A and B are shown apart, each in its own frame.
Chain A
Amino acid sequence: MIGDAVPAIATAVPIGIAFGVILERTGLGDPRVIAGQLTGRDFTVVRVMFGAIVTAMLGVVWGSAAGWIDLSSIAVPPTDIAAQLIGAVIFGGGFALAALCPGTACVAASSGRRDGIAAVAGMLGGTAITAVVWPVLGGVTAAAPREGALLPDDLGLPLWSVVVAVTVMGVAATTLGRRIDSRGSARAWRITATETAALVLAVAFVVVDERTGLSHGRLAGIASEITREADHVEALDLAEWIRAGEPGLRIIDVREDLEAATYLIPGAEAVAIESLTTIRVAAGERVVLYSEGGAHAAQAWVLLRARGVANAFVLKDGLAAWEDEVLAPLRPAVADDTARARYSRARHLSIWFGGMPRLVPLPDEVRPTREPAGRRRRNTC
């Protein structure tokens, strides 16, 4: 970040100057404009605030989705709900009395208004007095505020829904405000090109966020899939998918020691875990991940789901299960109907995949498995 490399004055002063110029030029240093907003006659304050909030918000969410902005590097104001409710009521009373807020009071003072100077002096006094009245008011504050608390997470809503809601609210407020400020001109009802652009950016963000956003709600959804084991596919089911030529099936081998491996499930491609963050997955594809036992595949599954790949599965118990259940199914010694039906299904699949169904357990060296046979792990998932 540039701000870390240069002295504070190099960034703070230009940004402050731009802030002051904009507040002054829009008329926010004039208490009559702010009093006009508080009585509903003039919508300058609402239009400037929403224009700024919607613009910066869309810039932040799109910049973050595109990888230009690292959200974690931006300081988010803390949340302390009780203190902020009471603080807002006290602040609102002062805002009404002064018809200026702290920033605009400074603009008013600097542009020669004496009531602005009075409000700035009051601000200094009131801020210092906070320490004096703390025994009375300090009780409402939390021991520690919640740093970085965000509205979508606290509401349990996806980011896109809050972005759309704020944009729609902002466009409605600026349109209504323009209508009032133009004293009822019929043209003022029309949504301008800029407002349309904001709405389009917000709606387009829905698609981006659904695929990539990691809101609390989406993480909870992924966690629930893990609990329900909805992410697992049995070896026999996978074998049937392959034999039936299921469209869009994509099998990915994520074993670490692939160079030593001689056997891949038919149709599988080898992909290193670190490449999973970037491989392209088409919308209709059904991804099945497998590793030796299943632990690596399960980790890879979380990675893909977090990236927004919806249709992903883990081969239950990994390649070990594929060998035992598909390549070399064992005829049950004492079979009930279910076990017999399962063996009959497995036997056909096994022959189709070039395996060898077993009537009795065979010694390891003649089993149709790949080398090395000695390193088998079960149930590591």
Chain B
Amino acid sequence: MRGPRPYDDATRGGIALGLVLLASFLLVGRGVGASGAFAVAAGSVIGTVAPENLAANPALADRLPSGVPLLDDWIVLQLAGLFVGAALSAWWSGRLRANRSVAAPGATRLTRAFAGGALMGLGARLAYGCTSGLGLTGGALLATGAWIFIPVAFGTAAFVTLLARDGALHGAP
């Protein structure tokens, strides 16, 4: 069976992503992001079940926006677009089928991916963004916070990986 197409050249992909980022700055005055959409989703849940929690902590309310109409929020719609784009691209390159048919990761890998996701969710809220919204967008705009976040996040991740000796992928296909 024919395998999936090879990946694009990384530098060229990076330049293309930079042009998308620039178009976003020009058209809507903001950059791309990912964790912001999770914040809007979690914020609207917490704003409904425990609004007093947000009201008592302004710094928390600043990080978990509540009362935002989910289906009309820019970052939520942008992340929805990302899901669509990634699915289309994976299908086009023959990776959708490859991922589905082989992907039966072990329980350890799934647990670690879930735990890693949870830590990233928490860390991104403290830091006002993730590798996309703070790293890419803030990095290109030379935001001070971005240039603190990028080296510390990548440095910690490389250090933890070194200690765990690739353990994150244990049980991955």
Q: How far is B81's CA from A90's CA once the two chains are assembled, in angstroms?
A: 28
Which of A48, A119, A134 is the one whose CB lies under 8 Å from B113?
Answer: A119
Q: How far is B29's CA from A210's CA once the two chains are assembled, in angstroms?
A: 26
Give the contact stretch, choosing among A16-24, A216-224, A246-254, A343-351: A16-24
B75 — which chain A residues lie within 8 A by C-beta?
Answer: 12
Is there an interface contact between A89 and B121, defined as CB atoms closer than 8 Å?
no
Count, chain A residues at interface, CB 8 A: 131
Q: Verify if A75 is at the interface (C-beta below 8 Å from B).
A: yes
Is there an interface contact between A19 and B140, defined as CB atoms closer than 8 Å?
no
A98 — which chain B residues lie within 8 A by C-beta?
Answer: 112-113, 115-117, 120, 168
B105 — which chain A residues lie within 8 A by C-beta?
Answer: 114-115
Q: How far is B91's CA from A52's CA once the two chains are assembled, in angstroms?
A: 24
For A9, A73, A80, A122, which residue has the most chain B Cβ atoms within 10 angstroms?
A: A122
Q: Verify if A232 is at the interface (C-beta below 8 Å from B).
A: no
Q: How far is B40's CA from A127's CA once the two chains are assembled, in angstroms?
A: 10
B115 — which chain A residues lie within 8 A by C-beta?
Answer: 94, 97-98, 122
For window 133-152 of A, CB contacts with B under 8 Å fall at 133-134, 137-138, 140-143, 145-146, 148-152
Count, chain B residues at interface, CB 8 A: 130
A194 — which chain B residues lie within 8 A by C-beta?
Answer: 11, 15
Q: How far is B117's CA from A84's CA once the two chains are assembled, in angstroms?
A: 18
What is the chain A residue whose CB lies nearest that of B123? A91
- Residues A121 and B117 in contact in the complex (CB < 8 Å), given A3-B28, A47-B14, A77-B134: yes
What is the chain A residue whose CB lies nearest that of B112? A97
Bits for B73-97, please: 1 = Cβ < 8 Å to A, else 0.
1111111111111111110010111
- Residues A77 and B145 in contact in the complex (CB < 8 Å), given A94-B120, A114-B110: yes
- Residues A84 and B35 in contact in the complex (CB < 8 Å), given A106-B79, A125-B118: no
Bits for A126-170, please: 1 = Cβ < 8 Å to B, else 0.
111111011001101111011011111010000100110010000
- Residues A22 and B25 in contact in the complex (CB < 8 Å), given A53-B136, A55-B14: no
B134 — which chain A residues lie within 8 A by C-beta?
Answer: 77, 84
Q: Verify if A116 is at the interface (C-beta below 8 Å from B).
A: yes
Q: How far is B10's CA from A174's CA once the two chains are assembled, in angstroms?
A: 9
Is there an interface contact between A94 and B90, defined as CB atoms closer than 8 Å?
no
- Residues A129 and B28 in contact in the complex (CB < 8 Å), given A138-B60, A142-B59: no
Assuming A3-B28, A92-B159, what are 17 further A-B pairs, CB within 8 angstroms? A20-B87, A38-B158, A43-B10, A52-B136, A77-B138, A88-B156, A90-B126, A93-B156, A97-B116, A101-B132, A111-B99, A112-B103, A131-B50, A143-B58, A151-B143, A151-B144, A166-B142
State the A residues within 8 Å of B (CB).
Answer: 1-3, 7-9, 11-27, 29, 31-33, 35, 38-40, 43-44, 47-57, 59-60, 63, 68-69, 73-81, 83-103, 105-107, 109-116, 118-131, 133-134, 137-138, 140-143, 145-146, 148-152, 154, 159, 162-163, 166, 174, 177-178, 181, 192, 194-195
